[in-house]
């Protein structure tokens, strides 16, 4: 597999939702082995951008290419093997267990007449193990805590095992240790397939720690993207959030805080 | 286990009634080697009625399970989208004009189809997450049918009102022919829906999640809607609006078996069929020789079970 392969390409993309211009003339390429962070104010359209990339929202103009093929030309199941989406939140209206949720994530890999193979059962076990959900696999999802639900959803995405991972606020509800651990698990899983991660964050410090590249959505369709060192500065963050952000240094470490 | 329950309910229904038939005679009667009054009661009266009850219950169980996924609501039932309201309007019109049973059934089916078409056309929308739109459209249409039904009841003469009320409460006493065609349709609907069972599993998480896992959401939703509506229409046109089976059975099955629709769908068919056969047995025997509409019995069983489930759900 070619490591420098472009996994996602947006060409002259215009996205609108209601009367909000999410992005105007967006040209953005995500190559394999990159970790992108998306930052922006609430309501600027970060999730809508994800919905557009995954075909749930239609762009007003321009093109989305997944591995150099137009999004609309991908068969549903084939796309699900390449593109995975961790939603900001899922509601569970029916009594499902953690195990059932992970089993359902195998959907793109099995047809109607097949049962799960030993390998696939192993994938589910491994995914539950790294997300530390093994002892809760028989529990109903609705009976779990917010953080455990989040880890269940992450386990499901690990079972789906795509190449391009869209993560909408992946650390929502997670405690500090699990925030770091889950990000490491996800990045490692993506690297195994020479894949890439695009991640919506509200914490610039997490973005700085894990992302190789950053896309800032600045509102009214304008954006800025590039490598993390260049984009993630106190000055740019202050502008983005309309709130003074300063960078504190301690030996070789640095952290952004709101002033 | 459900298969055993089905068999038990079928045998009980054939043997018991205002006149009991020894269980050991049933095999001989069914194979045709025993004749006489007993055999006549079984083959000409009880067997058509039992089969109709089983098929109707199975259709309602399946339609309920499908409707719950379609609307992403475990408390939805086959009648929630007004398909039964359309059927009732059709049936009551036929009764108003003094038409025979065949006409009542046919008219009910036409009304159900009309209602299904209306819901479909009015709720067609390009957006995903369309279950809410569909639900609202259906509920509003159902309310409209309800108004028409009330008008028909008020305008009807005393004799028609009795038939109308029996029809509205759900009644199997008109089943005089074994409904083989309906059984075949039930089997076909079960098989077809079973083929999209995995897609239905995904739909319970919402349209977006289902789509992101590779399901062709729009096609599956359309198929599910048509299957659920057809099953409801057939059930209602055979036996009127029998309540609670389509709500209680799938819900109960989910609590016992989980949410894998590869199990839930066939189990809802067997469970619905068995429950309605047993309820009909109750309707025939509890106040014998007076027969009750079977819908009364299912509601009497359904209400406490439903309340129990509701509590269970809130605590769980």
CB contact residues (below 8 A), chain B span 70-129, against chain A? 72-74, 128
On whether the CB atoms of residues B223 and B233 are closer than 8 A, the answer is: no
Q: Is the pLDDT of residue A2 over 50?
A: no
Inter-chain residue contact B211 with A56, CB threshold 8 Å: yes
Cis omega (within 30 of 0) on the bond before A118?
no
Task: Read off the CATH number of the domain in which A13 is found.
Answer: 3.40.50.300
- B202: Cβ contacts below 8 Å, ≥ 6 apart: A104, A107, B209, B210, B213, B215
Phi, psi (rounded to 5 degrees) for A4:
-95, 10
pLDDT of residue B17: 66
CB-based contact (8 Å) between A88 and chain B?
A: no
Inter-chain residue contact B208 with A84, CB threshold 8 Å: no
Chain A residues with CB under 8 Å of B201 CB are 100, 104, 107
Percent of chain B having pLDDT more than 90? Answer: 37
Domain with A202, as residue range(s), is 6-258
pLDDT of residue B125: 63
Inter-chain residue contact B215 with A107, CB threshold 8 Å: yes
Residue range B235-252, pLDDT digits in tens: 998 888 888 899 889 988
Phi, psi (rounded to 5 degrees) for A10:
-120, 130
Higher pLDDT, B27 or A236: A236
Inter-chain residue contact A100 with B258, CB threshold 8 Å: yes
What does pLDDT average to over chain B? Answer: 85
For β-strands A164-168 and A83-86, DSSP reports them as: parallel
Residue range A209-221, pLDDT digits in tens: 999 999 999 998 9
Q: Is the pLDDT of residue B273 over 80?
A: yes
What is the mean pLDDT of the segment spanning A138-142? 92
CATH 1.10.3470.10, applies to B2-315 = yes
Nearest by CB to B201, which of A77, A84, A104? A104
Inter-chain residue contact A76 with B211, CB threshold 8 Å: yes
Q: Is the pLDDT of residue A186 over 70?
A: yes
Phi, psi (rounded to 5 degrees) for A219:
95, 155
How many Å lie between the alpha carbon of A28 and the closest alpha carbon of chain B?
Answer: 22
Token representation of residue A215: 């896309």
pLDDT of residue B99: 82
State how far the Cα of B81 lies from the Cα of B131, in Å rounded to an integer: 11
pLDDT of residue A138: 92
- Mutation for B interface: A76, A82, A91, most B CBs within 10 A: A76
Counting one residue from chain A and one from chain B, the pairs whose CB atoms sit within 8 A come to 80
CA B14 vs CA A54, A191, A204, B49: distances in Å: 56, 65, 72, 9
- B186: Cβ contacts below 8 Å, ≥ 6 apart: B55, B58, B59, B62, B231, B234, B269
Flag whether A52 is in a domain. Answer: yes
Could you write out the three-class secondary structure of chain B?
A: CHHHHHHHHHHHHHHCCCCCCCHHHHHHHHHCCCCCHHHHHHHHHHHHHHHHHHHHHHHHHHHHHHHHHHCCCCCCCCCCCCHHHHHHHHHHHHHHCCCCHHHHHHHHHHHHHHHHHHHHHHHCCCCCCCHHHHHHHHHHHHHHHHHHHHHHHHHCCHHHHHHHHHHHHCCCCCCCCCCHHHHHHHHHHHHHHHHCHHHHHHHCCCHHHHHHCCCCHHHHHHHHHHHHHHHHHHHHHHHCCCCCHHHHHHHHHHHHHCCCHHHHHHHHHHHHHHHHHHHHHHHHHCCCCCCCCHHHHHHHHHHHHHHHHHHHHHHC
How many Å lie between the alpha carbon of B8 and the closest alpha carbon of chain A?
Answer: 29
- Mutation for B interface: A95, A102, A162, most B CBs within 10 A: A95
Flag whether A114 is in a domain. Answer: yes
Flag whether A246 is in a domain. Answer: yes
Chain A residues with CB under 8 Å of B257 CB are none
What is the mean pLDDT of the segment spanning B5-21? 70
Residue range B186-214, pLDDT digits in tens: 999 999 999 999 999 999 999 999 999 99
What is the mean pLDDT of the segment spanning A187-192? 96
Chain A residues with CB under 8 Å of B218 CB are none
Nearest by CB to A76, which of B128, B204, B214? B214
Nearest by CB to B202, which of A81, A104, A140? A104
Residue range B91-103, pLDDT digits in tens: 999 988 888 778 8
Inter-chain residue contact B260 with A100, CB threshold 8 Å: yes
Q: How confident is the model at residue B313 (pLDDT cuts 50, 70, 90)?
A: low
**Chain B residue at shortest CA distance from A83:** B212
Percent of chain A having pLDDT more than 90? Answer: 87
Residue range A94-120, pLDDT digits in tens: 888 999 999 999 999 987 777 889 999
On whether the CB atoms of residues B54 and B277 are closer than 8 A, the answer is: yes
Inter-chain residue contact A93 with B214, CB threshold 8 Å: no
> ipTM value of the model?
0.92
How many Å lie between the alpha carbon of B254 and the closest alpha carbon of chain A?
Answer: 7
Q: Where are the domains of chain B?
A: 2-315
Q: Is the pLDDT of residue B288 over 80?
A: no
Total domains in the fold of chain A:
1
CB-based contact (8 Å) between A97 and chain B?
A: yes
Can you say whether residue A227 is alpha, beta or left, with left for phi > 0 and alpha for psi between -120 and 50 degrees? beta
pLDDT of residue B104: 86
CB contact residues (below 8 A), chain A span 140-199, against chain B? 140, 142-143, 160
Inter-chain residue contact B213 with A160, CB threshold 8 Å: yes
How many Å lie between the alpha carbon of B211 and the closest alpha carbon of chain A?
Answer: 7
Inter-chain residue contact B209 with A91, CB threshold 8 Å: no
- Mutation for B interface: A54, A78, A79, A94, most B CBs within 10 A: A94
CB-based contact (8 Å) between B263 and chain A?
A: no
CB-based contact (8 Å) between B133 and chain A?
A: no
pLDDT of residue A52: 96
Distance of CA A43 to the CA centre of its chain: 17
Residue range A116-138, pLDDT digits in tens: 899 999 999 999 999 999 999 99
Flag whether A100 is in a domain. Answer: yes
- B54: Cβ contacts below 8 Å, ≥ 6 apart: B6, B9, B10, B273, B274, B276, B277
- In DSSP terms, A213 is beta-bridged to A36, A227
Residue range B28-68, pLDDT digits in tens: 777 777 777 777 777 777 888 888 999 999 999 999 999 99
Nearest by CB to B254, which of A87, A90, A95? A95
Chain A residues with CB under 8 Å of B214 CB are 76-81, 107-108
Nearest by CB to A87, which of B74, B195, B209? B209
pLDDT of residue B19: 66
Could you write out the three-class secondary structure of chain A?
A: CCCCCEEEEEEEEEEEECCEEEEEEEEEEEECCCEEEEEECCCCCHHHHHHHHCCCCCCCEEEEEECCEEHHHCCHHHHHHHEEEECCCCCCCCCCEHHHHHHHCCHHHCCCCCCCCHHHHHHHHHHHHHCCCHHHCCCEHHHCCHHHHHHHHHHHHHHHCCCEEEEECCCCCCCHHHHHHHHHHHHHHHHHCCCEEEEECCCHHHHHHHCCEEEEEEECCEEEEEEHHHHCCHHHHHHHHCCCEEEEEECCEEEEEEC
Largest CA distance in chain A: 59
Q: How confident is the model at residue A205 (pLDDT cuts 50, 70, 90)?
A: very high
Inter-chain residue contact A94 with B216, CB threshold 8 Å: no
């Amino acid at each position: 597999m070619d490591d420098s392969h472009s996994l996602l390409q947006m060409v002259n993309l215009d996205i609108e939702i209601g009367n909000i211009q999410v992005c105007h003339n967006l040209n953005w390429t995500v190559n394999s082995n990159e970790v992108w962070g998306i930052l922006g104010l609430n309501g600027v359209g970060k999730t809508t951008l994800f919905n557009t990339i995954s075909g749930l929202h239609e762009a007003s103009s321009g093109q989305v290419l997944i591995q150099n093929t137009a999004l609309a030309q991908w068969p549903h199941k084939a796309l699900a093997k390449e593109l995975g989406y961790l939603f900001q939140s899922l509601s569970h209206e029916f009594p499902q267990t953690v195990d059932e949720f992970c089993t359902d994530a195998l959907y793109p890999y099995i047809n109607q007449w097949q049962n799960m193979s030993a390998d696939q059962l192993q994938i589910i076990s491994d995914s539950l193990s790294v997300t530390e959900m093994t002892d809760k696999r028989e529990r109903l999802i609705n009976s779990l805590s917010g953080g455990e639900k989040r880890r269940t959803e992450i386990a499901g995405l690990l079972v789906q095992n795509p190449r391009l991972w869209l993560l909408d606020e992946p650390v929502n509800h997670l405690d500090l240790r699990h925030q770091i651990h889950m990000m490491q698990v996800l990045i490692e899983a993506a690297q195994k397939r020479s894949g890439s991660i695009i991640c919506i964050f509200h914490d610039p410090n997490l973005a700085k720690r894990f992302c190789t590249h950053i896309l800032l959505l600045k509102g009214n369709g304008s954006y800025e993207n590039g490598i993390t060192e260049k984009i993630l500065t106190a000055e740019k963050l202050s502008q983005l959030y309309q709130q003074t952000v300063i960078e504190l240094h301690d030996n070789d470490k640095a952290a952004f805080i709101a002033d | 286990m459900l298969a055993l329950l089905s068999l038990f309910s079928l045998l009980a229904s054939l043997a018991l009634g205002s006149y009991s038939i020894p269980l050991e005679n049933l095999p001989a009667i069914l194979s045709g080697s025993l004749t006489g009054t007993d055999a006549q009661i079984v083959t000409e009266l009880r067997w058509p009625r039992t089969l109709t009850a089983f098929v109707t219950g199975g259709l309602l169980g399946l339609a309920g399970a499908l409707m719950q996924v379609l609307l992403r609501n475990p408390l939805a039932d086959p009648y929630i989208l007004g398909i039964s309201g359309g059927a009732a309007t059709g049936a009551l019109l036929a009764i108003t004009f003094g038409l025979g049973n065949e006409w009542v059934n046919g008219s009910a089916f036409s009304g159900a189809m009309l209602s299904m078409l209306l819901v479909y056309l009015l709720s067609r929308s390009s957006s995903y997450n369309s279950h809410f739109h569909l639900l609202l459209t259906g509920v509003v249409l159902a309310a409209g049918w309800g108004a028409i039904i009330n008008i028909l009841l008020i305008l009807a003469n005393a004799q028609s009102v009795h038939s109308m009320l029996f029809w509205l409460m759900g009644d199997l006493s008109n089943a005089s022919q074994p409904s083989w065609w309906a059984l075949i349709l039930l089997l076909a609907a079960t098989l077809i829906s079973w083929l999209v069972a995995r897609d239905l599993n995904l739909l319970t998480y919402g349209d977006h999640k289902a789509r992101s896992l590779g399901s062709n959401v729009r096609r599956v939703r359309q198929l599910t809607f048509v299957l659920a509506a057809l099953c409801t229409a057939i059930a209602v046109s055979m036996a009127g609006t029998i309540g609670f089976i389509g709500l209680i059975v799938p819900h109960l099955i989910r609590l016992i078996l989980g949410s894998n629709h590869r199990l839930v769908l066939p189990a809802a068919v067997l469970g619905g069929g068995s429950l309605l056969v047993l309820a009909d047995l109750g309707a025939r025997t509890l106040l014998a020789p007076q027969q009750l509409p079977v819908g009364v019995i299912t509601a009497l069983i359904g209400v406490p079970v439903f309340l129990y489930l509701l509590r269970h759900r809130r605590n769980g």
